[in-house]
Structure 1
Amino acid sequence: MADRDFKLQLKGYGLLTAEIFYFLPDYPSLLQQFVWQDYDEAPDYPILFKFLDHWRCEIEAAIHSVRIAHDRMIGAREFHHVDGEFTLQ
């Protein structure tokens, strides 16, 4: 059974790291950071925007800024099916 992340990579998704800087209502002068990772598809980033929408609705913290890094680690054109196997002793 293939891993969920591997299947996403074959579809063109890449590893997305988002640094979210935010303020809590109790400490408005303190800028805090949250790091989040998931596989997402550039350039639209639908999974990131879904997470940020959840953040805005459910978490009592005002987002100051978001910094992202995205890397597509493997793609369908880079994956080659192997028909045989060599055994070395």
Structure 2
Amino acid sequence: MEGYGLATAEILYRMPDHPSLLQTYLWQEYDLCPKFPELNRFLDFWKREIEGRLHSVRVAHCGLIKPAELRSVDGMFLLN
């Protein structure tokens, strides 16, 4: 599981009927950083099957396995 995490890609592509306009598509999947095989598979599918020509792809990645983000709290809170 080393390197796996949630990958988010912001894909800008040109509208097929109006190439001067850009459209945004957001893609999310669990993927392996830094090679991103799932994202590359999706982009290959896009180039092969979808008419909108890719302009740019911006990727963010958040690892699944990381140190716990816990902190101690000094006090007690009671809810009625």
TM bucket (normalised to shorter chain) is 0.7 to 0.9
TM-score by length of 1: 0.70
One-letter amino acid of the counterpart of residue 37, structure 2:
P
Q: How many residues align?
A: 67
Give 1:36-51 correspondences, 5 Å limit.
Answer: 36-51=27-42
How far off is 1:49 after superposition?
Answer: 0.2
Q: Which runs of 4+ in 1 moved over 2 A?
A: none
Partner of 1:71: 62
- Structure 2 unaligned spans of 5+: 69-80
TM-score by length of 2: 0.77
2:33 equivalent to 1:56: no
- Of 1, 11, 15, 2:6 maps to 15
Work out the CA distance in 2 between the residues paired with 1:35 and 1:25: 18
One-letter amino acid of the counterpart of residue 33, structure 1:
T
Partner of 1:33: 24
Deviations 1:2-38 (A, max 9, x none): xxxxxxxxx1310000000000220111111000000
CA RMSD of aligned residues (A): 1.6
Bigger proportion of residues as helix? 1
One-letter amino acid of the counterpart of residue 21, structure 2:
L
Q: Percent same amino acid among aligned pairs?
A: 54
